Amino acid sequence: MFRKFLLKFSRHCEEGDSPTKQSYDCVGDCFAATNAARNDDFLFSRYFLTLFIFAFGIIACANPNITPTQEIVSFTSTPAPTSFPIRTPEVISIQDSPLKESILEAGDYLMRQQLTNGELAYQVNFINDDRAYASSDIRLMSGTGSLYTVCRISGDLTYCNSADLALTHYLENLITDEQKFKGTCFYANGGCSLGGATSTIDAIYKRWQATSKFMLEDKNLLSTAIDLGYFIVSMRKPDGGLYHSFDPHFEGGVDENYFVATFNGESVVALLQLYEMTQNDFWLTQAHEVNDFMLTQPVTEDHKHSYALALFARLDTLSNKDIDYANEITKVIIEGQVRSLNPANTSISTATKIEALAFIAQAFYLSDVEAEFLQREIQTFITFVEARQIPNSDCNVEIAESTVNKYRGGIFSSCEDPSIRIDGVANWINGVSAFLEYESMIEQK
């Protein structure tokens, strides 16, 4: 019987289901030490002791940080393996057009403002050149992801190289502490929020879409993404929702009062991205459970939930409840259009409406639901934001050529606030690329 157990364990090792090779070697060392100490006069005791030490070795050697008093909490499904063959991502090609060119110019702006250490410009006032670099590392990580989208759309690895430089820089925010929390979290501004984990997974996913690769120098980004996914899952609430922030400091815990409107939707997106990259149903199940909770909540102009619905439609299926909820999102956005297109409003928030409607259009198309009515609405919001992409201006002010040379492609917020912020540029890239992908879907029909 003991021999069968060893044979079964060795087969698991060959199939990649074991702990890492390093921990397997460690277990072997422990087992060898046990054999050396066995007593031939006590056959039963010998095998009992061997089995005990062997079992303990699997735990202690595979994770040397675990102490006898530390609680070990397992997930409800087998963790996604990292040794399987890398899949080829499914991407939608985009035809050349003025809108595609505007995406590339936005990417050029991001690269032009980047520091040599990889840091992207968080906010720049194109009138007086005032700038801020590190107001939100989470938004800057999102900007990194949008650079990978530009790389994919253009086929120009220059954008990917720039994004790799930024990603390497912002990955320094990741921390792991097995005794305090599950997986890996993105530490910024005194805590680990869901947005840090989701934006990092999103950047890794978009890099995979652009390059079909997960290795960044000696770092396995898929393993990083999976560890971030475990952190997201560990933040689940009993009601199906999520806590939005965790304090990793001494005696820290979840912040029950911290809430960001887009974090639930971002988490569903990240879980679906993990499912697509790994094909492990664990992530799809988690995504469905969080989405089911979101369908019980009041409808908002949630562009991230819209993105999640598009991923569900492509990777799995949309339920009737999903479709009804998506229709409600479009209704809220369209009914507020007059208010949204007021010149006093920012291009940052308006670009999210492009993103929301474009992803819902994709979701409807993939689910055989009428979506053409959304095209005119999307174009209206595009016109509003594009008027603020330098060299354009809807402020009745001529922009000097020297200013255009520095800030071309950047999207300023409003006439009252002539600042170009990273999330406005990223939202524009994400929204317009989603719309152009939708148009490609229609053309390929």
Cis previous bond, 68, omega within 30: no
Domains in the chain, start-ordered, CATH in brackets? 2-62 (no CATH), 98-443 (1.50.10.10)
Q: Distance between CA 424 and CA 413 in Å, rounded?
A: 7
Question: Per-residue DSSP letters for 115-179?
Answer: -TTSPPPSEEETTT--EES-S-HHHHHHHHHHHHHHHHHHT-HHHHHHHHHHHHHHGGGEEE-TT
Are the beta carbons of 248 and 192 closer than 8 angstroms? yes
Are the beta carbons of 143 and 109 closer than 8 angstroms? no
Q: Distance between CA 150 and CA 111 in Å, rounded?
A: 11
Question: Per-residue DSSP letters for 60-103?
Answer: HHH-TT--TTS-----SSPPPPS-SPPPPPP-------HHHHHH
pLDDT (tens digit, 0 to 9) for every residue of the chain, 445 residues total? Answer: 333 333 333 333 333 333 333 333 333 333 333 333 333 433 334 443 344 434 434 333 333 333 322 232 334 444 545 445 567 899 999 999 999 999 999 999 999 999 999 999 999 999 999 987 667 999 999 999 999 999 999 999 999 999 999 999 999 999 999 999 999 999 999 999 999 999 999 999 999 999 999 999 999 999 999 999 999 999 999 999 999 999 999 888 999 999 999 999 999 999 999 999 999 999 999 999 999 999 999 999 999 999 999 999 999 999 999 999 999 999 999 988 766 677 878 999 999 999 999 999 999 999 999 999 999 999 999 999 999 999 999 888 889 999 999 999 999 999 999 999 999 999 999 999 999 999 999 988 6
Are the beta carbons of 144 and 120 closer than 8 angstroms? yes
3-state secondary structure of 416: coil
Q: Distance between CA 401 and CA 348 in Å, rounded?
A: 24
Are the beta carbons of 106 and 410 closer than 8 angstroms? yes
3-state secondary structure of 193: strand
The type of residue at 203 is A
Contacts 24+ apart (CB under 8 A), 152-160: 152/91, 152/206, 152/209, 152/210, 153/94, 153/100, 153/103, 153/104, 153/433, 153/436, 154/104, 154/107, 157/211, 158/111, 159/107, 159/111, 160/207, 160/210, 160/211
